[in-house]
A and B are shown apart, each in its own frame.
Chain A
Amino acid sequence: MNSTILQYDVVVIGGGPAGLAAAVKAKEYGLNVLLLDENDYLGGILPQCIHPGFGIHYFREELTGPEFSHRFMQRVKDLKIDYFVKARVLEIKNYSDLEKIVVFTSPEGAFEVWTKAIIYATGARERHAFEIGIVGDRVAGIYTAGEAQTLMDIYGVMPGKEVVIVGSGDVGLIMARRFALEGAKVKAVIELMPYPGGLARNVMILRDFSIPLYLSHKVVEVRGKKRVEKVKVMKVDENLREIPGTEFWIKCDTMIISAGLIPQVKLLTGIGVEIDPATGGPVVNDLLETTVPGIFVAGNSLLINDLVDYVAEQGELAAYGAKLFIENGGIPAEKWIKLEKGNNIRLAVPHYLSGKRDVYIYARVKKPMENVVLNFPEIDKKIRLPVVRPAEMLRIRLRKEEIAKAKDKITMEVIQQ
């Protein structure tokens, strides 16, 4: 294959909020940036997230998804950042610690880009029906929440009339509202856990439209001839095991799967980037650099975030990391302090702290608790919180002086007050 050779300081893979923020910031730092996205348009999933709730922290204004991404796309245009859409990255090569190669194709041809640093911001993929143990007929009318959202809010096509939604996370709840607003009958939201997965403001949607929520329930089977006709629901016990005898059927023509997201890291695992099983994303230091020097990650390919504001923040931090990496020929730190997960911490990012800079810790708890203290015993830091929930990501700032107090590790734990 004849490919065109290009040369850049930074290649940003993924044109969603993390990639856009990273590309804009890197360009503002004076770096030569190339942005790649495989979709037909920039913005990632934001152009289809037509509901408000974006940008409250970043822009101090409540925007819809399309408005949020529009502001960044305007910056991309103003700064004349080079980008390709419909660009499929085939391979990333770690040529040396200071040189990487990104191979991609687009309608314009095949390209090989030599670059000093890569910011990987490919977002997440949705979990499918088979991943959550639903068996039965392979029929029309089964969509992930994101697929249904693309159909309705980009193409203006209604996926169905009588809907069962599997999963009560924010995405599932927002789709419940969208369907109800469009006049579809949302017959139920089915949630495996004993508590709703979404933020309180989104759980309110169920009351707005009188949609029944089945907690501690799961869909186990789907039946239909050409299209979905009914789904079988069962109650589960506290160990999430199905309870025989509790099954019932719900008639519907559409099943929407909103069972969570998984960081998209496909191209990274091949070149030896270490993955954290708790987040599903790479292990990173406090500049969001992976275990392969010069490769940075941000957004939902790093960890699943609740707020786009944090995603953009991570994109900008990765851009700063790329700048330091290029200026210094690597990210210097004599020793890295490991962030350890203590009581009731399911995941925490970044994994390694330098003590040379302030850092935001993004973390999630395993189970809800009230009146707790977030404790960092090695550095004598305590933060009181009225409540912690798995659905709400914690974002905690540690100052460099605090981090520097630790020897080789800092434990983060949630304890009862």
Chain B
Amino acid sequence: MTVEVYKFTCIICPLSCDIEVEVENGEIKEIKGYTCPRGKEWAIEEITNPKRVVMSVIKVKNGNMPTVSVKTTKPIPKTKIPELMKLLAEIEVEAPIKVGQIILENPLGLDTKIVATREVEKV
């Protein structure tokens, strides 16, 4: 039997409750420290399927800046992040680029888009 205790600070609201989750054999046994249901839900997701918005920069050809910053439009599973970063490191785009322009749709089959967050003018 393996019992693990995860401790983290809830980031949903400024109260920053310290939440403790006890996991036994991969199953959540106890959650302590939250003050409201939103915090509890967040803690459960953090354990079972943590997701993050990913941001990076991509190389740009013929632009007034050498890179364009990008982000995923939706949080993606944490486990997929390294693979996505590798993909983003390999691609290159051509200026001009507008803020919000879609660079990739459903990369790696993920339910998200890669969009530009910076404007790059053509030179």
Which A residues are within 8 Å of any B CB, using their own CB? 41, 47, 50-52, 63-64, 66-67, 70, 152-156, 181-183, 199-201, 203-204, 207-208, 386-387, 392
Contacts and interface: CB of A to CB of B under 8 A. Distances in A.
Nearest to B65: A154
A63 B16 CA distance: 22
B57 to A, nearest CB: 5
A41 B123 CA distance: 15
B57 A153 contact: yes
A392 B57 CA distance: 29
Contact of A155 (B8, B67, B78, B82): B67
Given A156-B67, A181-B81, A387-B15, A70 B99 contact: yes
B9 interface: yes
A181 B67 contact: no
Nearest to A196: B9
Contacts of A201: 11
A67 B52 contact: no
B119 to A, nearest CB: 6
Interface in B41-68: 50, 52-57, 59, 65-67
B117 interface: yes
Nearest to B14: A392
A64 B66 contact: no
A200 B65 contact: no
Given A64-B71, A200-B16, A181 B117 contact: no
B10 interface: yes
B117 A64 contact: yes
B104 interface: no
Nearest to A202: B11
B28 to A, nearest CB: 17
A187 B99 CA distance: 35
